[in-house]
């Protein structure tokens, strides 16, 4: 049985970080088959299978996932759209952290997972524009990323709350 969305676009934007993580995991695990198993979701997120069951029920109630106990999980159209948005934010952030800020891949992955839930569409949009600007500046012969990295090597990196390393 396929259940289409019962959520308005505004309601789907109000997903908790945890539910966004479930959508992202389902989306990433499903691949071409568009199906995911709760066992694989639990493994990917490092949570108990009972937690997955509860989250899948919530996603089903919100019209974002098609789920029956002991069956495979698929995302509805709205669930796929919401998952694509979470994945896009994650990818933009991770790319920014690695390619522009020079952060190591593993640290950037963790930071992107945390930040993707906290940053709104306007900030993500501006980051995308900034990355586009950096790429365009390279086309004109100016390497803004290299200039920034040289700047960072000459100055200590400021930590939050005034700490300097």
DSSP for 63-118, written as a single string: TSEE--TTS-BEE-HHHHHHHHHHHHHHHHHHHIIIIIT---HHHHHHHHHHHHHH
Q: What CATH number does residue 26 fall under?
A: 1.10.10.10
Residue whose pair of structure tokens reads 């974002």 in the numeric block: 64
Question: How far is Cα 9 from Cα 31, in angstroms, rounded to an integer?
Answer: 24
* pLDDT for position 157: 65
* pLDDT for position 141: 79
**Residue 161 — pLDDT band, cuts 50, 70, 90?**
low
Q: Judge if 13 and 78 occupy the same domain.
A: yes
Res. 7: pLDDT tops 60 = no
Residue 4 lies in a domain: no
Residue whose pair of structure tokens reads 């990295």 in the numeric block: 149
Domain count across the chain: 2
pTM over 0.85? The answer is no
């Amino acid at each position: 049985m396929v259940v289409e969305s019962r959520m308005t676009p505004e309601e789907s934007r109000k997903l908790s970080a945890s539910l966004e993580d479930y959508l992202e995991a389902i989306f990433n695990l499903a691949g071409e088959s568009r199906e995911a198993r709760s066992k694989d979701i639990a493994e990917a997120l490092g949570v108990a299978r009972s937690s997955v069951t509860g989250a899948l029920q919530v996603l089903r109630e919100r019209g974002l996932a098609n789920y029956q106990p002991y069956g495979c999980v698929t995302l509805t159209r709205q669930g796929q759209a919401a998952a694509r948005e979470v994945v896009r934010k994650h990818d933009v952030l991770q790319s920014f952290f690695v390619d522009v800020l020079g952060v190591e891949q593993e640290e950037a992955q963790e930071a992107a997972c945390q930040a993707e839930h906290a940053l709104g569409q306007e900030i993500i949009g501006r980051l995308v524009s900034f990355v586009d600007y950096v790429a365009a500046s390279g086309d004109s012969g100016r390497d803004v990323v290299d200039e920034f990295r040289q700047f960072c090597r000459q100055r200590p990196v400021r930590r939050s709350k005034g700490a300097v390393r």
